[in-house]
Amino acid sequence: MGSAGSGSVTRRSFAGTTAFAIVPRHVLGGAGFVAPSDKITLASIGLGFQGTSVTMSFLARADVQVVAVCDCEQVSKGYVEWGRNALLNAERRLLGPGYENWAEDLVSPGMTWLIPGYQSSLGVAGRDPAKRLVEAYYSSRKDSAYRGCTAYRDFRELLEKEKDLDAVYVATPDHWHAAISIAAMRKRKHVLCQKPMTRTVGEARRMAQVAREMKVATAVPVNNPSSESSRTIREWIGEGAIGTVREVHNWSSRPNCPQGVERPAETMPAPQGLDWDLWVGPSPLRPYHRAYHPFLWRGWYDFGTGSLGNMGSYSFSGMFKILDLTPPVAVEACCSGFFDSSAEAREESFPRTSIVHVYFPAANNRPPVRVSWYEGGLRPPRPAGLSRQDDHFFQPGGANEGVMYVGDKGVLLGGFNGDNPRVYPASQKYQAPPRQAGARPRGDPAIDQWLRACRGGPAALTSFELQSPVTEAFLLGCLAQRVPAERLEWDTANLRFTNSERANRYVDPPYRSEYRV
């Protein structure tokens, strides 16, 4: 497949020569214009619902030019979306007036049940729809420097041919995050990698190391370290609002895709246009089945990180910032909801329900901290002294997600990411200001910081180096779900458990040879 970046004239040099032939708008006083030579050229790798959604946000930025897309699937109508035609409607809104009926062939084919009681719309995604969107957007803006979007099946071809590429956005399933990010960094590309940063602890350590060696800008698009809620909670705890914190409880409504299920016995032909071997990539090869892809891969050990890896990427990132946490020293889990009680059942997919305890050492003048994670409808006991308005956090059928910091003088309770925090016993001093009606959230700090870092600014708060210990912590929790009912003692310096060789098998499992990086 040809590359728009190959040949005697690169995009960057083309943009430069065009600037001399056409008087730029910023010379004429056009507001918000960015010269083509100043734009960050970007490729998106992984074009499911999330990958396409974030790519749309890059299209809307004047300082970014999306030049290539890559996915091992050409097109599929089986991707999960969070509302009927959510993806297509967002694309039409992005394109603007005159595109209200754009791409009628991409209309959702209907609904599907992900798990009992949880239904979702199906959307259309893949490399061909993404290429079509990118070209429609830039054509509608009459961008004189735009030379088309190249679609690739294999990220290795993209990295080889796109010579003038500045950065990549990685939004594949979890098991590909590290290999693609490392390959891109070794080509000296800046990398934004979708959460969770990696699938295994060993990968997290390598990604941080390569980012450090190659001196490229990296980030995970998680905003918790930069959020107003995290700043407020950090300030309140630092001032002693609830005394010394030794426990944190965090609970999620997930899973929202099948977990604790058996590997399918039957096989299915891979859909036309899907390179299944490439999709499986570094993980052990298995026959295609709809139980894995699209979307349903998250609950399988070989491909995803379960509910904790999915959502803990957010909440643990906030906790680390708030409490100045360092890598943990131990982890343990209590799990249920496997398809049967055999050891084989625990080797396929994450459990449907679990409680995970992660133990952090004393550091920076604070005592040891235990973070407890709950999923599958479980939640911590209700503390005494709560007002009735917060009972819903602890009642069946009430709020499904939350976080609670427990100190020796009280508790701090908030939404899953710490939003709308409140302190008990109640205090006039510690009250979050009410959110103004119609107020809009502030941009996207993680991506904003990453783009500044791409231009030589300071590292993002969610750079790979800063997120490596965060990722290590919640991935150790994910690993404990595979070895439940054992307290696993962790030696972070040597990247191993000191009391379980079985658990050590999962710290850094090998890749299939053809996909090693």
- Give tens-digit pLDDT for 153-177: 999 999 999 999 999 999 999 999 9
Within this chain, do residues 367 and 463 fall inside the same structural domain, yes or no? yes
**What residues contact residue 146 under an 8 Å CB cut-off, 6+ apart?**
65, 138, 139
Within this chain, do residues 43 and 136 fall inside the same structural domain, yes or no? yes
Q: What angle (nearest 5°) sits at the alpha carbon of residue 178, between those of residues 173 and 179? A: 95
Within this chain, do residues 46 and 128 fall inside the same structural domain, yes or no? yes
Decide if 60 is inside a domain: yes
Say what the pLDDT of residue 179 is. Answer: 98
Q: Would you state the structure tokens that stand for residue 329, as one six-digit string?
A: 């020293």
**How much is the average pLDDT of 111-115?**
84
Decide if 283 is inside a domain: no
401 in Cβ contact with 346 (< 8 Å): no
Say what the pLDDT of residue 3 is. Answer: 37
Confidence of residue 82 (pLDDT cuts 50, 70, 90): confident
Query: Residue type for 483, please?
Result: V
Other Cβ atoms less than 10 A from the Cβ of 448: the count is: 16
Decide if 411 is inside a domain: yes
Write out pLDDT tens, residues 304-359: 999 999 999 999 999 999 999 999 999 999 998 776 666 666 789 999 999 999 99
Q: What is the mean pLDDT of the chain?
A: 89
Please check the confidence at residue 490 and state whether its pLDDT lies above 90. yes
Number of domains present in the structure of the chain: 2
Decide if 152 is inside a domain: yes
Write out pLDDT tens, residues 291-314: 999 989 999 999 999 999 999 999
Within this chain, do residues 124 and 235 fall inside the same structural domain, yes or no? no
Q: Give the β-pairing of 40-45 and 167-170.
A: parallel
Decide if 476 is inside a domain: yes
Query: Residue type for 486, please?
Result: E
Say what the pLDDT of residue 71 is. Answer: 98
Residue 286: closest CA among 263, 318, 307, 309: 263
Residues counted in the chain: 517
Torsion angle of C-alpha atoms 384, 386, 391, 394, degrees rounded to 10? -40
Within this chain, do residues 235 and 109 fall inside the same structural domain, yes or no? no
Query: Residue type for 226, please?
Result: S
Within this chain, do residues 240 and 383 fall inside the same structural domain, yes or no? yes
Within this chain, do residues 234 and 148 fall inside the same structural domain, yes or no? no
Q: What is the 3-state secondary structure (H, E, C) of 349-389?
A: ECCCEEEEEEEECCECCECCEEEEEEECCCCCCCCCCCCHH
Within this chain, do residues 128 and 250 fall inside the same structural domain, yes or no? no
Within this chain, do residues 481 and 417 fall inside the same structural domain, yes or no? yes
The residue ranking higher by pLDDT, 255 or 489, is 489
Sheet strands side by side (includes 218-219): 150-152, 64-70, 40-45, 167-170, 190-193, 218-219
Say what the pLDDT of residue 5 is. Answer: 38
Decide if 508 is inside a domain: yes
Decide if 216 is inside a domain: no
**How much is the average pLDDT of 204-220?**
98
Decide if 27 is inside a domain: yes
End residue of a domain, out of 172, 204, 239:
172
Say what the pLDDT of residue 351 is. Answer: 93
Q: What is the largest CA-CA distance in the chain?
A: 72
Within this chain, do residues 231 and 115 fall inside the same structural domain, yes or no? no
**What residues contact residue 145 under an 8 Å CB cut-off, 6+ apart?**
11, 14, 15, 18, 36, 65
Write out pLDDT tens, residues 380-428: 999 999 988 888 888 766 567 999 999 999 999 999 999 999 999 999 9
Within this chain, do residues 363 and 423 fall inside the same structural domain, yes or no? yes
Torsion angle of C-alpha atoms 376, 377, 379, 384, degrees rounded to 10? 180
Within this chain, do residues 484 and 382 fall inside the same structural domain, yes or no? yes
Q: Whole domain around residue 365: which residue ranges?
A: 224-259+314-442+459-515
Write out pLDDT tens, residues 14-62: 333 333 222 333 333 344 555 666 899 999 999 999 999 999 999 999 9
The share of the chain scoring above pLDDT 70, in percent, equals 88
Q: Which of 115-129, 356-370, 390-404 has the lowest mean pLDDT?
A: 390-404
